[in-house]
Amino acid sequence: MGGATGMAAMDTFDHILSWKLKRGSHAFPGKDGGTCINEAAIVAAGFPYQPVRAVETMPACFSRPICSLALLLNDEADDAERQLLLPFVIRLACADTRQVEWEREVYITQHLRYRMRFQDRLEVLEGALAIGRQADVLATDEVRSRLDAVQQSAKAPTSVADHFKFSKIKEWLAPSL
């Protein structure tokens, strides 16, 4: 992961390794966490859980270009790679001015190539996050309690994906990286 900021975020997130990032949108999380990166970010930021089928439905404090890239990485990654996105969960609520959001979009478009290793795509995410306003630093205990509350309220052991057939088709069509 690029830079000290990414490593500091990983240290902050060590305590929620029981949260499992999964491909696609989820009707509700399970006791394993079981959400995509954006759904986890919404909870970590203090909003009620909601499935994320499109980044436009996320709260306004989330950067659309950055969340779009995070969602792409989340859905194209294998299960092990996807867990490397956990430190970014607390960094997505960083929406800025239209100009900054446009700069982020241009940066992502210029640096993202179709056939890149997952690690290289993570560096593109890190670079986009360095542009403009940074997300507010969230207290570790606060994030832990928010995520724990969602996990404890879960009725199922694992999350339930929205549109099961659609997520399966997406899975089959996703290019292997």
Confirm if 29 and 128 have CB atoms less than 8 A apart. no
Answer with the residue of higher pLDDT: 149 or 35. 35
Rounded CA-CA distance 61/53 in Å is 17
| Residue 116: predicted pLDDT | 87
| Residue 157: predicted pLDDT | 61
Rounded CA-CA distance 116/4 in Å is 22
Residue/partner pairs of 109-112 with CB below 8 Å, 24 or more apart: 112/69
* C-alpha to C-alpha distances, 90 to 85, 112, 115, 165, 169, nearest whole angstrom: 10, 22, 27, 30, 30
| Residue 10: predicted pLDDT | 43
How is residue 31 annotated by DSSP?
T
| Residue 18: predicted pLDDT | 65
Bridge partners of 26? Answer: 161
The tens digit of pLDDT for each residue in 13-32 reads 444 456 788 887 777 776 67
* Interval 163-174 mean pLDDT: 50
- The three-state secondary structure class of 26 is strand
Confidence bin at 134 (pLDDT 50/70/90) = very high
- ∠ CA 131-137-138 to the nearest 5 degrees? 135
Please give the mean pLDDT across all residues of the chain: 79
Range name among 4-8, 32-36, 162-166 with the lowest pLDDT average:
4-8
